[in-house]
C-alpha cells in the first residue's frame, strides 16, 4: 500500500529541484549572453596625450624625436621645430623627417622653402636634404632625389601650372638650377625637351591634340626657337 504522505514529500522535493535547475539555466543563459555582447562591444578608448616623446638608444643618445614640435635636446639642428617625427643619426643630425617639413638644410645652412609642405624628407649623414616625398601648400606634389646643391630628379604634379612630368637637372652649386631633361604634359600637349647648360633647349619632341608630332632641334650657337 502506497503511503500518500511520503509520495507528497517526494513530489515536493522534485518540484524544488526542478525550480532550482530552471533558475541555474536562466542565470547561465544570462551570463553567456552578457559575455557574447561584451565580446562584440568595442574596447574602451585609450589615448596617450603628450607634447613630445624622445626615444634613446642603448647609449642614451636621442635617436627618434616625436612632437609638435619634437624635443630639441640631442638634435644638431635647432631651427627645424615642426610637428613631425624625426629620426636622428648617431651624432644628432637629421636623417628622416616625417610630417610638417622644416626648411631645407644644405651644408649646415637653412634656406626658405617655396611653400609650406608635408611629407617625408631624407637627409645625408651631415643632415643635408637629399630627397623628399611632399605635397606643398602651393598645389605642387613632388617626389625628388637631390644633388648636394639641389634637386637632381623630380616627379612633379603642379596644380597651378598644369604641368605633370619628370625633370632631370644638372649638378650645380646651391641655389643654381639648370634643367637637362623635361618630360611631361600640360593641357593637350606632351613633350620631351633636352637642354644644355649654357644655351637652354636644344631639342624638343612634342605632340598636341590632333596635330602630327613635331621634332625641333637647334645647333649650338643659334637663337632659341620662338
Does 58 share its domain with 156? yes
Let me know if residue 40 belongs to a domain.
no
Note whether 79 and 147 are same-domain residues: yes
User: Could you tell me if 110 and 2 lie in one domain?
Assistant: no
Whole-angstrom distance, CA of residue 182 vs CA of residue 189: 13
The mean pLDDT value of the chain amounts to 86
Residue 114 lies in a domain: yes
Query: How distant, in Å, are the alpha carbons of 39, 40, 49, 83 from that of 46?
Result: 18, 18, 10, 22
pLDDT band at 176 (very low <50, low <70, confident <90, very high): confident
140 and 212 assigned to the same domain: yes
Q: Is position 45 within any domain?
A: no
Q: In this predicted structure, which of 83-92, 143-152, 188-197, 214-223 has the lowest mean pLDDT?
A: 214-223
**Residue 160 forms part of a structural domain:** yes
The Cα–Cα gap between 119 and 9 comes to 84
Please tell me whether residues 73 and 134 are part of one structural domain: yes
Collapse the DSSP code of 17 into the 3-class scheme (helix H, G, I; strand E, B; otherwise coil) and give the result.
helix
Residues 113, 16 share a domain: no
Q: Do 90 and 202 fall within a single domain?
A: yes
47 or 88: whose pLDDT is higher? 88
**Whole-model pTM?**
0.75
Checking if the pLDDT of 204 tops 60, the result is: yes
Among 94, 139, 138, 92, smallest CA distance to 120 is for: 94
Q: In the structure, how many helices (H) and strands (E) does the chain have? A: 1, 15
Instruction: Let me know if residue 226 belongs to a domain.
Output: no
160 and 206 in one domain? yes
- The band of 10, judged by pLDDT with boundaries at 50, 70 and 90, is low
In terms of domains, do 18 and 69 share one? Answer: no
Domain presence at residue 224: no
> What is the per-residue DSSP string for 77-109?
-SS---SEEEEEPTTS-EEEEEEEPPPPEETTE
Q: Judge if 8 and 106 occupy the same domain.
A: no
Sign of the four-CA dihedral 160, 162, 163, 165? positive
Q: How many independent structural domains does the chain possess? A: 2
Q: What is the pLDDT of residue 97?
A: 98
Given a contact cutoff of 8 angstroms between Cβ atoms, the answer to whether 67 and 80 are in contact is: no
> pLDDT digit string (tens) for 24-66?
555 555 565 565 555 555 555 788 899 999 999 999 999 999 9
Instruction: Using DSSP, state whether 182 is helix, strand or coil.
Output: strand
User: Is the model's pLDDT at 95 over the cut of 90?
Assistant: yes
Query: What range defines the domain where residue 132 resides?
Result: 52-217
Predicted confidence (pLDDT) per residue in 100-143, tens digit: 999 999 999 999 999 999 999 999 999 999 999 999 999 999 99
Confidence class for position 177, pLDDT limits 50, 70, 90? confident
Provide the pairing of β-strand 200-208 with 214-217.
Answer: antiparallel
Do 4 and 111 fall within a single domain? Answer: no
**The predicted structure's pLDDT at residue 217:** 92
| pLDDT value, residue 218 | 86
Query: Does 164 map to a domain?
Result: yes
Q: What pLDDT is attached to residue 96?
A: 98
Find the CATH number of the domain harbouring 177: 3.90.930
Greater confidence (140 vs 175) lies with 140
For residue 92, give the nearest of 71, 73, 76 by alpha carbon. 76
Does 133 share its domain with 205?
Answer: yes
Q: What is the pLDDT of residue 150?
A: 86
Amino acid at each position: 500500500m502506497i503511503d500518500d504522505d511520503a509520495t507528497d514529500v517526494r513530489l515536493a522535493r522534485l518540484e524544488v529541484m526542478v525550480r532550482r535547475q530552471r533558475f541555474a539555466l536562466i542565470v547561465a543563459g544570462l551570463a553567456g549572453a552578457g559575455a557574447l555582447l561584451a565580446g562584440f562591444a568595442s574596447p574602451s578608448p585609450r589615448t596617450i596625450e603628450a607634447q613630445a616623446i624622445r626615444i634613446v638608444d642603448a647609449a642614451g643618445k636621442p635617436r627618434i624625436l616625436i612632437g609638435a614640435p619634437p624635443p630639441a635636446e640631442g638634435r644638431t639642428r635647432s631651427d627645424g621645430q615642426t610637428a613631425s617625427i624625426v629620426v636622428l643619426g648617431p651624432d644628432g643630425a637629421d636623417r628622416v623627417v616625417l610630417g610638417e617639413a622644416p626648411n631645407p638644410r644644405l651644408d649646415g645652412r637653412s634656406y626658405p622653402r617655396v611653400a609650406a609642405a608635408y611629407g617625408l624628407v631624407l637627409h645625408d649623414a651631415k643632415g643635408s636634404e637629399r630627397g623628399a616625398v611632399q605635397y606643398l601648400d602651393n598645389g605642387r606634389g613632388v617626389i625628388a632625389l637631390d644633388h648636394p646643391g639641389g634637386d637632381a630628379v623630380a616627379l612633379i604634379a603642379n596644380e597651378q601650372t598644369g604641368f605633370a612630368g619628370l625633370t632631370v637637372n644638372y649638378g650645380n652649386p646651391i641655389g643654381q638650377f639648370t634643367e637637362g631633361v623635361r618630360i611631361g604634359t600640360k593641357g593637350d600637349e606632351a613633350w620631351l625637351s633636352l637642354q644644355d647648360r649654357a644655351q637652354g633647349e636644344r631639342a624638343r619632341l612634342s605632340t598636341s591634340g590632333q596635330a602630327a608630332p613635331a621634332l625641333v632641334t637647334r645647333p649650338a650657337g643659334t637663337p632659341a626657337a620662338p
